[in-house]
Homo-oligomer: A and B are copies of this chain.
Amino acid sequence: MSGDLREHAGAPTLEDVARVAGVSRATVSRVVNGVRNVDPGIQEAVRRAVVATGYAPNRAARALVTRRAGTIALVVSGVDGGCAGHDGPDAFAARVFADPFFGRVVAGVVGFLRPRATHPVLMFAETPAEREQVLGYLRQGSADGALIVSAHGEDPLPALVAAAGLPAVLFARPARPVPLSHVDLAHADGGRLAAEHLVARGCRRAATITGPLDVPAGQDRLSGFRDAMARRGQPYVPIVEGRFTQRSGEEAMARLLAEHPDVDGVFVGNDVMARGACQVLGEHGRRIPDDVAVVGFDDSAAATSGRLGLTTVRQPVEDMAAEMARLLQEHIETPERPVTSVVFAPELVVRESA
């Protein structure tokens, strides 16, 4: 091999590769970026020079001229003092990932981004200051756009991002309209699916443990369930509101059992709470599904992790997250692309619990 591949300290640059290959920087750039109109022979020479020098394009330099960071932000946004208190410095992040839901979102996003050699920057925004930080980050051009997952319908971040004219896509429809694309699930249909299944297996005194009712998803699942039950002759459905945590599912079930000991079916707002409910039912000597049938929501890891497989309404979170990333990519590449919403259909997954 030739001798003076590296005459200066830093990482090899386009210039270095060009010198070794005996061509101009522009040609190397073309080869590296896969632009055609380059002589195959030269292409080969350049490729060899790239390997010889150990060249890797400098991202900052590229971003500077292309005006693309080649990065997107994945923002998990909540509202200060949401459900649990504001414990440690970043208990929020830990709390967020306590639900398998967010792991699936990450999986879906990463699955879409990875083939494109892109990786998400993870951000949490719970306080106004943190929201400002997210905004600043985006405005610096550190990321080309944002994928926003709000823990609450009233989250102010989407509106701020939209107002700043930054590309963004939301997971779930915001409580009040925002000119941003979003993906969502037909939650009401999910509730209906659960109701039909419960009725079909003979439940006559079904109840429901809902998610937080200030989250549109929680509301929609409830109303879908309630409407379908009413249509099937059960206009009154006992309701207890939970917080999507296992603990809250336990408490809700205990209360339900105390107030309605004859309950024979429960539709629970998510799988994590459903697990808690099952636990309490077991402790109270109720057999599942014979005495009480339980239908969860999400089809998350919680649905299959226990002994008893949970019958549940599947939410294709990974697909939804991937679609969210795809939409964002489109908005970034085509700023004038109109805002849209993509709504996925839920699906009943029957296992042992109902």
Is the pair B124, A110 in contact by a Cβ cutoff of 8 Å?
A: yes
Is the pair B110, A133 in contact by a Cβ cutoff of 8 Å?
A: no
Q: Which residues of B contact A120 (CB under 8 A)?
A: 121-122
Q: Which residues of B contact A63 (CB under 8 A)?
A: 59-60, 63
Which residues of chain A in 82-140 are interfacial with respect to chain B, using CB atoms and an 8 Å cutoff? 88-94, 96-98, 100, 102-104, 106-108, 110-111, 114, 117, 119-124, 130, 133, 136-137, 139-140
Is the pair B111, A102 in contact by a Cβ cutoff of 8 Å?
A: no
Is the pair B110, A103 in contact by a Cβ cutoff of 8 Å?
A: no
A141 contacts the other chain (Cβ, under 8 Å)? yes
Say which one of A18-26, A224-232, A299-307, A346-354 lies at the interface with B.
A299-307
Is the pair B93, A107 in contact by a Cβ cutoff of 8 Å?
A: yes
Q: Which residues of B contact A16 (CB under 8 A)?
A: none
| Number of this chain's copies in the complex | 2
* Best-surrounded residue of A130, A133, A139, A142 (most CB of chain B within 10 A): A142
Nearest CB of chain B from residue A110's CB, rounded to whole Å: 5
Nearest CB of chain B from residue A66's CB, rounded to whole Å: 9
A197 contacts the other chain (Cβ, under 8 Å)? no
Give per-residue flags for A138-178: 1 if the beta carbon is below 8 A from chain B beta carbons, else 0: 01111000000000000000000000000000000000000
Q: CA of A318 to CA of B73 in the docked complex: distance in angstroms?
A: 22
Starting from the known contacts A90-B107, A97-B103, 4 additional A-B residue pairs (CB-CB under 8 Å) come to A11-B139, A58-B141, A60-B141, A71-B142
Interface residues of A (CB under 8 A from B): 10-11, 56-61, 63-64, 67, 69, 71, 73-74, 88-94, 96-98, 100, 102-104, 106-108, 110-111, 114, 117, 119-124, 130, 133, 136-137, 139-142, 245-247, 250, 276, 279-280, 282-283, 301, 305-307, 318
